[in-house]
Structure 1
Amino acid sequence: MASLSLFQLVALVAFLFTLVDAHGYINSPASRSYMCKQGTAKNCGEIQYEPQSLEALKGLPFARGSDGKLCSAGLSQFAQLDRQGPGVWPTTKASNVHSFSWTFTAMHATTDFKYYITKSSWDSSTSKGLSASDFDAEPFLVVPMGGKPPAASMTHDLSKSLPSRSGYHVVYAVWTVDNTVNAFYQCIDLDFGGGNSKADAAASSSAPNTSNATSASTNNTGASSSSVSSPAAAASSPSANTGSSGASAANPKSHAVKGNAAGCRMKRKRAPSASILAARGDYRRHRLQTQRERQA
């Protein structure tokens, strides 16, 4: 085999150096790698010394299997990046995110940049590492490069706002290199505010069921309204309402029982209706008038 000239050797070394050193990371909003570099995130392992080195075979998050290891790109030396769960990673407010900024330690021919986000139904309370099924199938942002290298730094502006989400979610960024078999990967933790839908649903299912009590309260209110034939009739019987309140205050234990629908129904059966009270009033007035006529 013919020996290489000095010029060819220099060119080959420069080319290989470019392949090896063609690295980068997202610094805004801060990715997990960058947070480890800055010391914002703790217990990061080796990635804190080389946040630009998350380089692995193309295809993540969908085309090749690395479920549970997406944030480390399946690289065992960076396994700490796959830790997951509420409070494990510092988050950035999603409302402050209007672009994604990369820092490159070397530039390389690029196919595109793609950004994926966890599904709205994703359970943010899980401690399992991220899997392909956790993400929307389509990226919410694609930046084509057509084989051109990026500058030393590059910002990708959002043409529209981030997808609508609630609570904690993760963005998965992919930088696909054009003339190698590799790509670079970054995980970004965002807080959209509010609670995560699936986590909230789980919390609701474990909480005491108050729907029956609410229904009973609604029914009781309707029944109380129906016992008063009209606003005028209700106004003519304030003593009945006052008496009811006084009884409740005098006996707090019975007041607790009255929160039950059956107890309220029993109480209403014992209490005279507005029409009976009105009839009693008419009778008293008639009797007093008769007595005055007799005395006259």
Structure 2
Amino acid sequence: MRKHIPLSGRSRSILRRPLSVLVSLFAVVVGALVWSAPAQAHGSVVGPPSRAYQCWQKWGSDHMNPAMQTEDPMCWQAFQANSDTMWNWMSALRDGLGGQFQARTPDGTLCSNNISRNASLDVPGQWKATDVGSNFSVHVADQASHGADYFKVYVSKQGFDPEAQSLGWGNLDFITQTGSFGPSTDYTFDVSTSGYAGRHIVFTIWQASHTDQAYMWCSDVNFG
């Protein structure tokens, strides 16, 4: 009969060590996830929807559907280029611009906020457009309640073709700059325009108030 040999204190310590290492590793991983979560919580224009948000809203839960290629070719090319652009539709931000938006954002990179991983958003084409009137509202979702020093809104000039031309600063008419907004998860403000018809881009800049953090988005619209 095999005798049971009791473990010494040293043996118990050796056996416990792998378990303690695993517990510590698990704690580190969980801590890292908790720490990183707020960094992913920012915001975007959700009405009229920004390009990335529109693609995520329409195809996020169905992004493997081959029908996207023919039904929504611009979202298709964006998902093919980098699907992270859509999963992180709320994170098109840059820090420390000091209000130098034009000087530090080259023509042709406005829709991506000059973020290389989002370059697909700068590609001209048949992006799905939202119908608007001359007076419309801009709705911004702010998951982290950053607040806003202001929003700036521009509209592409009459005659600019968003299906064939990449957007530059010279293609924009400045429309309005808002006042400040306190921390909230949603901001809505009215925009009044005149003289626009057909396809256009509404270009919005959000200067967050919690730090020097700037967001830029293109929303495709059709003025009725």
Do they fold alike, i.e. is TM over 0.5?
yes
TM range (shorter): 0.5 to 0.7
Distance, in Å, in 1 between the alignment partners of 2:163 and 2:115 is: 24
What whole-Å deviation, never above 9, does each CA across 1:104-129 have from its counterpart, x for those lacking one? 110114211111111124244524x2
Which residue does the alignment assign to 2:131? 93
Distance, in Å, in 2 between the alignment partners of 1:38 and 1:67 is: 27
Query: Would you say the 8 A contact 1:22–1:108 is kept in 2?
Result: no
Between structure 1 and structure 2, the one with the greater Rg is 1
Is 1:68 matched with 2:111? no
Q: Which has the higher strand share?
A: 2
Q: Bigger relative contact order, structure 1 or 2, given CA contacts below 8 A and separation 6+?
A: 2
Q: Aligned in 2, Cα 1:163/1:17: closer, same or farther, shift over 3 Å?
A: farther
2:177 to 142, 151, 157: 142
2:85 to 39, 47, 66: 47
Distance, in Å, in 1 between the alignment partners of 2:108 and 2:52 is: 17
Distance, in Å, in 2 between the alignment partners of 1:90 and 1:126 is: 14
Unaligned runs of 5+ in 2: 1-34, 60-74
2:204 to 165, 169, 173: 173
Q: Percent identity?
A: 29
Aligned residues: 170
Q: Aligned in 2, Cα 1:19/1:38: closer, same or farther, shift over 3 Å?
A: closer
Runs of 4 or more, structure 1, over 4 Å off, are: 16-19
Shift of 1:27: 1.4
Question: Secondary structure of 1:34's partner?
Answer: helix
TM-score (norm 2): 0.66
1:34 to 53, 56, 59: 53
Which residue does the alignment assign to 1:156? 189
What whole-Å deviation, never above 9, does each CA across 1:14-65 have from its counterpart, x for those lacking one? xx97983451011112221211211353332322101101102434752323
Question: Secondary structure of 1:107's partner?
Answer: coil
RMSD of equivalent CA atoms: 2.6
Query: Would you say the 8 A contact 1:110–1:176 is kept in 2?
Result: yes
Q: Which has the higher helix share?
A: 1
Distance, in Å, in 1 between the alignment partners of 2:36 and 2:146 is: 11
Question: Secondary structure of 1:156's partner?
Answer: strand
Which residue does the alignment assign to 1:218? none
Report the residue type matching 2:190 in the other structure: D
